[in-house]
Amino acid sequence: MSRIGNLPISIPQGVTVTVTGNLVTVKGTKGELTQTIDPAIAVTVEENKIIVVRSAETKDLKSKHGLYRSLIYNMIEGVTVGYKKVMELIGVGFRASVQGQKLELSLGYSHGIVFVLPEEVKVTAVSERGKAPIVTFESHDKQLIGAVAAKLRSLRKPEPYKGKGIRFMGEQIRRKAGKTAAK
């Protein structure tokens, strides 16, 4: 039984939801998002609520029931409030600067890295003296912003000995002792 899938989604003021066949479109102040739904899952809009119903009781459809309800909820939250990911660059000489939709990074390699962002994602970089540079992504699409943040993190993952690398704000890295602790 999908407890999440059975919950109705309330539509806030200023958001329009249209369902055409198996395509759900959500429009709001921050933008517009679309999601293709499995034909075995029915999505209906009644008054100011969205109801997601599955056609059968198979294990596959039970899992998709909760999945599509969560995806639609995330779309509504994205077009009203938006999503934000904050990342910090920990390391000596690590720098970040923004030129339009390009994020220029210096991550300790012999060359600089130019990270081109999709147009749906807004980025800001803050560098204060004595503190780690902070990169902030903002978007209405939760999947896209998560993929962009994961791609940035993959450029220099945090290493367990000194903790250098790109990490999410507040992320705890499990540290290892190193060779000298073995004696």
Q: What local confidence, expressed as pLDDT, does residue 181 receive?
A: 64
Q: What local confidence, expressed as pLDDT, does residue 183 receive?
A: 60
Tens of pLDDT, residues 35-81 = 999 999 999 999 899 999 998 888 889 889 999 999 999 999 999 99
CA-nearest of 166, 165, 163, 182 to 174 is 163
Q: What local confidence, expressed as pLDDT, does residue 2 receive?
A: 55
Q: Do domains 3-80 and 83-168 have the same CATH topology?
A: yes
Phi-psi region at 47: left, alpha or beta (left = phi > 0; alpha = psi -120 to 50):
left
User: Which pairs from 20-27 meet CB under 8 Å and 24+ separation?
Assistant: 24/72, 24/75, 26/72, 26/75, 26/76, 26/79, 27/79
Domain boundary assignment for the chain: 3-80, 83-168
CA-nearest of 146, 86, 151 to 120 is 146
- Which pTM value belongs to this model? 0.88
Average pLDDT, the chain: 92
d(CA 38, CA 54): 10
| Unique residue bearing structure tokens 């896209």 | 144
User: For the domain with range 3-80, which CATH number is right: 2.20.25.650, 3.40.50.720, 3.40.190.10, 3.90.930.12?
Assistant: 3.90.930.12
- Specify whether domain 83-168 bears CATH 3.90.930.12: yes
Q: What local confidence, expressed as pLDDT, does residue 1 receive?
A: 46
CA dihedral 114, 117, 122, 125 (to 10 degrees): -20
- Of the chain, the percentage scoring pLDDT greater than 90 comes to 77
79, two tokens: 């077009």
